[in-house]
Every structure is written in C-alpha cells, then in structure tokens.
Amino acid sequence: MSNNINTTPAKRTTIWILALLLITLIAAGGTLSYYRAQSQRKNTFATGTIAVNINEPNWNDDLDGKELRLGSTRIKDPTLVAWAGEVYVRFRVEVRDMDDNTLLTGARLQAVLDTLYYDPSYIYTGTADDDATKNIVKGDSYTTAELAGIPGVQKGYNHTNLDFIGTLDGHRGVLYFAYKDLDDIFVADKANPANSDVVTLFTNVVIPAEWGNEVLALLEGDHGNGYYITIRGEMIQANNIASRAEAFALLDGDAKILAAGESIDYAAADPF
C-alpha cells in the first residue's frame, strides 16, 4: 500500500455525488396514502407514522468530489437511519453524466461502479471522522489487487446488510439495493435510539493506482466534467405487508414510485 496520491497529477476528474430521500407511506388499515419528500442529505421527513434520516457525515460536497486522480481515496458514506416506525427500504442509485444528465452505460458506467467499496470496519456515528474506515484509509493509495486482499472489504456496496436486487429495465445506470435482515424490516427504537437500524450503502470512493489515463478519461466523459451519483431511499411502511417482495411490488405499482412506462428488471446481473 502506497501513500503517494499524486500518481498522475496531470489527470484529474470531478465526481458529484448527491444523496436524496424519497418517502412513501402506506397507512394502517389498508388505506393508501402517499407522502413524498426530497432533499439533500441530512434532512429528516416525518409523516407521523415513520421518520427516517439519510446522512453522509464524511463527505464534503465542496471538496471531496473534486481533484480526484489515480490513487485517490475518499470516505463516502451514504447512510440511512431509522427514526420511527418499521419499513421495508431500498436504495435507488442513479449514475449520470455531469453535462447532459444522461444515464451512464457500458464501460463508463462500469468504471464508476468499480470505484465504490464498503469497509466493514465503518461504524456510523453521525459525525465526520477521517479515521472512520480503518481498513481503507482515507488519503492512502491502493491498487485493485491490494483492495481485493484486504479482509472483509466488499466491492461496490455493503453485501452484509444489502442485496443488489436489479436495475431499471433498459437503464443499467439505475441500480437498486434492498435492506436485508432476518425479516428484512428496517426498525426504529424510539425508546432507545441507539438500537435503531442503520444501513450504509458504501463507505469509500477509490481510484485504483494502476488505472491508466484511458480509464480516467472514461470517468471524465466527453466534456471532461465528470459524472454524478444520486442516491435515494425508497421505503414503505411494513405494517400489513407480509414480505419485502410484496412491499416492493406495492412501491412499483400502487405507490407509483416509478415514472410512467418504467419497470425494474429484478433479474439483472449484479455488476459487482
């Protein structure tokens, strides 16, 4: 493992990563009521029945997505915290070009996904900490082989607490990850908030040191301004819903989370 982060100082790329929240509620008694709200991370939305928070304490929008180069390592920790109620929840991740907002595809999309890692040493505290990931060290430089050799480190996302469940049909640049547990329900403990469920999607953005300028050119795109990732939580109250599959069928259908004509390809291969 090298500490040199200036492997190729002439080539840099910019990444903008946003974390947004979308809440959908099915009210008790089977009556459908939908509450939608969207905001940048670290905002809370309460419907009176459920309350959740999405936060990434170790990411600085003004600094961390800029001036990335070969060997750059950042902490990027989009985390969903249960505040009230019990829900089924999934992350929707969109990867788009910075200039024209089109969804990334092919080799460029794969290059972006190949920069994401989850370090299980990470413990969410809600506050910034440069040492939040102990195995992938912020500021250090890694090759792909070195990352693969770190015990417990997971490529792409948190495989322990999330399942990759599919992509938007026809658009591989929109990916879905579902929370998993014994019953797959994301639970808040109001009496003891420290026991509330917390799930972090991934913890690090790493540009492997051995990548060449051609891969950086993929990240930068035709206009050289990079890409951005939008992360959104989609959830539905667990009350009166028997399973995660049933919950997501409601989200996709009656809750109208998807735009007209959209559907999720639940058979899509895991790109990680």
Q: Are strands 79-84 and 86-97 parallel, antiparallel or unpaired?
A: unpaired
Neighbours of 115 (CB within 10 A): 23
Whether the Cβ atoms of residue 249 and residue 182 lie closer than 8 Å to each other = no
The residue that leads in pLDDT, 92 or 63, is 92
Q: Name the burial class of residue 27, with classes exposed (0-12), middle (13-18) and buried (19+) by CB atoms within 10 angstroms of its CB.
A: middle
Whether the Cβ atoms of residue 251 and residue 257 lie closer than 8 Å to each other = yes
pLDDT of residue 30: 30
Lowest mean pLDDT among 79-93, 113-127, 161-175: 79-93
Lowest mean pLDDT among 47-61, 99-113, 127-141, 234-248: 47-61
Mean pLDDT for the chain? Answer: 83
Place of tokens 């951005």: 228
pLDDT of residue 85: 85
pLDDT above 80: residue 34: no
pLDDT above 60: residue 109: yes
pLDDT above 50: residue 120: yes
CA nearest to 128, candidates 63, 39, 45, 196: 63
pLDDT tens per residue across span 152-204: 999 999 999 999 999 999 999 999 999 999 999 999 887 888 889 999 999 99
pTM for the whole structure: 0.85
* pLDDT average, residue stretch 113-123: 97
pLDDT above 70: residue 8: no
pLDDT tens per residue across span 207-243: 999 999 889 889 988 888 889 999 988 888 888 899 9
Residue 179: beta bridge partners?
162
pLDDT of residue 193: 83
